[in-house]
Structure 1
């Protein structure tokens, strides 16, 4: 029987998923197994790596049960996974801690604050490629060292979620460049672990495992893994990557000049560049193809619309009805601005920022308010895009949009006009699965590079072009939005003081 399928694995925060992808990049079947987050106290978020593995086993067995001949058709396996979950393994490959802090765990906030009080960005940006934030594994390791010394001391390997699954599949341990680049511990110039950053954080560099490329072959399915999953012994397993950079690849964002806009609850804007964009407002991931993705995060992207639906209508209206109301207002919402910082900002000096409407007059109605919310997100993203364009020294050519925000034609047109850049939407929403297949196709020799595979696999629904009249209005409004953003910062601490 011909081997004509790739097995893609995605270890998400809510579930483990497995998918079969054919050699043209089309998804043939997908299965999932849910698991829970553990919240021991406010701000903490943990999961058990054993639950990830159980979810992977269940998902694979669901796929294979549909057709007894499927297992023999799998040519290669590639996994991606939620990033930053910090897994500790001892010398025998056993977990030293049964639950690990996840990407959204905030227990390290005090450690980050202490680090920022001691060091300036100039002391570490060039050695880490990133500003400090509670998400990074470097700070999670500090917490584990201080609060769970037994687990930290016993650890001989620090890995991420998909690395743990790869270990269970093959018995081999490694971390890929995309995960290491977002650890706060990798030197972007050398691509190796940074003694400078480990010394700054007081961490043992010997616990950090080999950094390899996502398209490297890690090993093959072991007898033990085959018995658990039903997979054949010997199927090659790729190193793989973090879910975010793998999804970038699987959406076609794989060369300089391209930008990704993933709008879900938040909005993540990523610009592909040859080097990291060193700026305190910009974070950087390593891309699958060996470059960098400078990214910024707007915490309340799609969540701004969710908030408006709840606050104005107590969820009585559908999103379609809210968009219909927004369409009744003219572009620019009659000079009404919305600053979409409902839950503050992830990076920068003003993480306690607030949302606001500015410019309300008697002429404004509900349609204006809803359109202003959508436009406010576009203005906030445009401000960040311009910072990244300046840092990279290159104008953006195309934006690839995905996530829930990419399903609303009005919002796409508003964004294209505010950015003044055409927007494309991939036909296949499962960009991470497609990215895994592209990695597997390149690693097994069907394509010279992962980006070549992605170019062959990724197709688009069409192009949303900027409306020239809208673009002119938004271009005149953008500087006012930027000044509102800057001037409001003087009041955020005052608001906090009122609460105290």
Structure 2
């Protein structure tokens, strides 16, 4: 039996999933195993790394059982995983702390505030490529150092979730440069740990794992792991990557000029560039092929539609009903604007931003209100695209969309017309699993470059072009939106003071 399958493992926040993918990029089978999120107190979020391994064992065994002779056919294993989950491991490879704080854990907010007060962006942006935020493992390590000193002292190495899984599979320790670059501790110019950032945060450099490229072979499935998982002992295991850059690859977003928009609860717009785009409002993550993904996040993407459904319909209408209602209003909603900052902003000086309607007249009705929400999210994302284009050498020429929002055709057409560029939808929505297979195909020399593997594995089921008439309507409205955004900022602090 020839080796003609790749095993992809995705260590997510809600579950571990394993998939068998053939050498043409087709997903043949997927098996998942759920795990819980622990919330010890408000703002905290943890998981047990051992639960991830339990999930890997269950998911791998489950998927191997679905395809004939799969165990002997797997040529390589590639994992991706949720980012920023900070795992402390001792010298024997065992956990020194039962739980790991996750990407959405906010316990480090005071450390971030103190860092911002002590350092201007010019002091650190070039050394870590990112503004400070509670998600970064650098700040999580500060908290662990000060609040769980025994575990911190006993820790020999810090790993991310998929690195811990790889350790259990192979006995080898490493971190890919994508996860490393999103730690607030890696120098983007060298691809190695930044001694300057480590010193600024008062951390121990010798606890950081060796940094390697995602497509390198980390090791091979050990005898113990083979017994547990049902895998063939000696099967090659890649270093693997962080879930977001791997999903970018799996959607074909791997060249400058191509962007990604994940249209879920939030809206994340990412532009591929040859290097990080340094700006206090822009985050950067290294990509598998060696570029950088500069991204900006709008907290209320799909959540804005969820709010409208609750506020105007008391959840009696479906999302499809809301879109149908919005379609009854003309492009531009008769000059009604919606500012979609329902939960503020993630970065920048105006994290206390608020949402608002502006321009309401007696002729406006529910259809206008719903369409203005869809258009307001598009205007806000276009504002982010304008920032990325302004500091990039490669302005966006097209965007690949994924997530629940990509299923709303009207919203996609609105966005394409606001952005002024086409939007593509991948044929296979499981972009993370496809990205793992792309990495494995390149690592096993089926393709000479990951970009070539992406070209072969990724196809698109739909391309939405801008509507010329809508685009003519939206262009001056975008300028007004930017003006309204700037003028509204002076009121946010005053509004907060009313609540005191």
Task: Answer yes or no: is 1:442 the counterpart of 2:442.
Answer: yes
CA distance in 1, matches of 2:287, 2:394: 18
2:254 is equivalent to residue 247 of structure 1: no
* Structure-2 residue corresponding to 1:388: 388
Distance 1:193 1:73 in 2: 37
1:21-40 matches, cutoff 5 A? 21-40=21-40
Partner residue of 1:333?
333
Aligned-partner SS, 1:342: coil
Q: Which aligned pairs between 1:290-329 and structure 2 lie closer than 5 A?
A: 290-329=290-329
SS at 1:417 equivalent: helix
Partner of 1:418: 418
1 CA distance for matches of 2:56 and 2:343?
A: 33
The CA distance in 2 between the partners of 1:130 and 1:257, in whole Å, is 21
| 1:60-79 map, 5 Å | 60-67=60-67, 69-79=69-79
Deviation at 1:61, TM superposition (A): 1.0
Contact 2:416-2:422 within 8 A present in 1 as well: yes
Q: CA deviation at 1:88?
A: 0.6
Secondary structure class of the residue paired with 2:224: helix
Residue 334 of structure 2 aligns to a residue whose secondary structure is: coil
Partner of residue 276, structure 1: 276
Following the alignment from structure 2 to structure 1, what is the Cα–Cα distance between the partners of residues 322 and 128?
43
1:131-170 alignment, distance < 5 Å:
131-170=131-170
Query: Who is 1:499 aligned against?
Result: 499
Aligned to 1:188: 188
Match of 2:178?
A: 178
Match in the other structure for 2:91: 91
Distance 1:418 1:91 in 2: 54
How far residue 67 of structure 1 moved from its aligned partner, in angstroms, is 4.3
Q: Alignment partner of 2:237: what SS?
A: strand
Deviations 1:402-455 (A, max 9, x none): 111111110110000000001110000000000000000000010001111011
Distance 1:395 1:160 in 2: 32
Where 1:288 maps in the other structure, the secondary structure is: coil
The 5-angstrom pairing of residues 197-208 of structure 1 reads 197-208=197-208
TM-superposition CA deviations, 1:299-320 (whole Å, max 9, x none): 1101110111111111100111
- Per the alignment, residue 108 of structure 1 pairs with 108
* 1:270-319 alpha-carbon deviations (Å, 9 max, x no partner): 00000100000100000000110100000110111011111111110011
Are 2:344 and 1:377 equivalent residues in the alignment? no
> What is the match of residue 9 of structure 2?
9
On the 8 A contact 2:273/2:393 being kept in 1, the answer is no
Distance 1:295-1:103 versus aligned 2 partners, 3 A rule: same
Q: Which residue of 2 aligns with 1:264?
A: 264
Query: Could you tell me how far apart the structure 1 residues matched to 2:430 and 2:46 are?
Result: 25
CA contact (8 A) 2:127 2:194 kept: yes
TM-score (norm 2): 0.99
Distance 1:45 1:418 in 2: 36
Cα RMSD between the aligned structures? 0.7
How far did 1:220 drift? 0.5
Offset at residue 68 of structure 1 (A): 5.5
Q: Deviations over 1:42-72 (max 9, x none)?
A: 0000000000000111011111223451111
Q: Which runs of 5+ in 2 are unaligned?
A: none
Aligned mates of 2:320, 2:90 — CA distance in 1: 52
Local SS of the residue matching 1:284: strand
Q: Secondary structure at the match of 1:387?
A: helix
For residues 359-389 of structure 1, the C-alpha deviation after alignment (integer angstroms, 9 at most, x for no partner) is 1111111100110000000000000001001
SS in 1 for 2:158: strand
**Cα distance in 1 for residues equivalent to 2:499 and 2:166:** 48
TM-score by length of 1: 0.99
Q: How does 1:347-358 map to 2 (within 5 A)?
A: 347-358=347-358
Q: Does the 8 Å CA contact 2:8/2:20 hold for their aligned counterparts?
A: yes
Partner secondary structure for residue 456 of structure 1: helix
- The whole-number CA distance in structure 2 between the counterparts of 1:404 and 1:462 is 15
Correspondence for 2:398:
398
- Three-state SS of the structure 2 residue aligned to 1:196 is helix
Say whether residues 1:461 and 2:461 are aligned partners.
Answer: yes
Distance 1:294 1:158 in 2: 25
Aligned length: 500
Q: Tell me the equivalent position of 1:124.
A: 124
1:462 to partner: Cα distance: 2.2
Distance 1:395 1:66 in 2: 44
Contact 2:29 2:66 in 1 (8 A): no
